[in-house]
Amino acid sequence: MLKGNALVGQSGGPTAVINASLVGVVDGCKRLKRIRRVFGMRFGIEGVLGDFLLDLTAEKPATLRALRSAPSSALGSSRHKLKDPDFEPILAELKKYDIRYLFMIGGNDTMDTIHRVTEYAGSTGYEMIGVGVPKTVDNDLFGVDHTPGYPSAARYVALSVLQSGRLARDMQRVDPFTVFQTVGRSAGWLPAAAALAKMRPDDPPHIILVPERPFEEQKFLAAAEQAYKQFGFVSVVCGEGIAHADGTPVSASRVTDKFSNVEFGAMGGTSAAMALHRMLSSAFGWRGEFEVTESLQMCAADRGVKLDYDEAYGAGVEAARLAGKGTSGVMVTIERKAGSRYSSRFGTIPLKKVAINARPMDGKYIDEKNLFVTKAFVKYAAPLVGELPDYASLKIKKAKPFVRA
């Protein structure tokens, strides 16, 4: 078996539980005698290119234990897209620190990075094992039941809509509509989570728009008008990446990142929530609110789910265990076991499959009108998010005047 040091990095958008996975990798590696030290990349693969590694085995155990519940990315993150000239200096850095085990925590692009680095190292005769740990609040990684980070972000969305929905209900004479936007470039898992806040027919949200289905303006406006007539106000939840049938984003942005992904809400564009706000105001003359929380749902530790922290940590430990037995070129997956009560186990999937595939919401989770989700989705997401509060409400019934006998 290979003997040497390990290197771990965090990449892409953070989550409330990504540090739990980081500590899981470190703890798992410490159990392996063949791994002497564990280094961390400062700002992802950019730390390797810039010779900025941290010695994680030098950290106090108490610090690592506390880090398990700390939000965001402790090592610092990156969205650097690898170019051909990057590989030679990366390999030189790996050799310099005697890195034989490579771990990265992230999404599709991150898994592509591990795959390409380990493939390049192998092509030069340098033996190295690479294992990926899943992470994304979008929940769109191929081959998993769900990703670490999604349950906590989904709870953030559900609680936000539950609480802001009551505000919308009570302020309907001032602002008859609200539009809440979640992150999620091409997957609707997060906006769909808002459905968990709906306990009664009149509860928000009334409309959920996901990127998997084309946005139809007239259909949307008709549904909003119907909700207004029925409930006195309208609560809309949308994913940032909703688009028209021709593929044009509702946000109308044309700015892209290094991976050619549209930067929703960037310069030259707007946000989907703002665009929907304008449509409703123009069509009905209503005043309303749009709520765009951006990255807050990625790092809200106060709304973190214990299940999420435990699975994130376990995925890190599992990655180290797999590497220790010589398994390389795979990402750890979370698989849901059959049964009426939720339980899960870890599995694996080849990195190259994750790198080139995405996992949009299954059609069975989207209702036939493309304006809400189905009961099947609620059944899927509820055990991940956990129980939500059921706030008290007054019985809205007009009082009768007092009549003297």
Q: What share of the chain is helix, strand, coil (3-state, %, to 5)?
A: 40, 20, 40
Residue whose C-alpha is closest to residue 59's, from 67, 47, 50: 67
Q: What are the CB-based long-range contacts (under 8 Å, 24+) for 46-49?
A: 46/78, 46/80, 47/9, 47/75, 47/76, 47/78, 48/7, 48/9, 48/90, 48/93, 48/94, 49/80, 49/86, 49/89, 49/90, 49/93
**How far is residue 381's CA from residue 215's CA, in Å, rounded to a whole number?**
24
Continuous H helices in 244-328 = 272-284, 296-299, 306-324
Indicate which residues carry an active-site annotation.
138
> H-type helices in 132-266, by residue range?
150-170, 189-193, 217-231
Cα 320 to Cα 359: distance, rounded to the nearest angstrom: 25
Sheet holding 288-292, edge to edge: 207-209, 234-239, 177-182, 288-292
Are the beta carbons of 172 and 206 closer than 8 angstroms?
A: no
Q: What pairs with residue 244 in β-bridges? A: 215
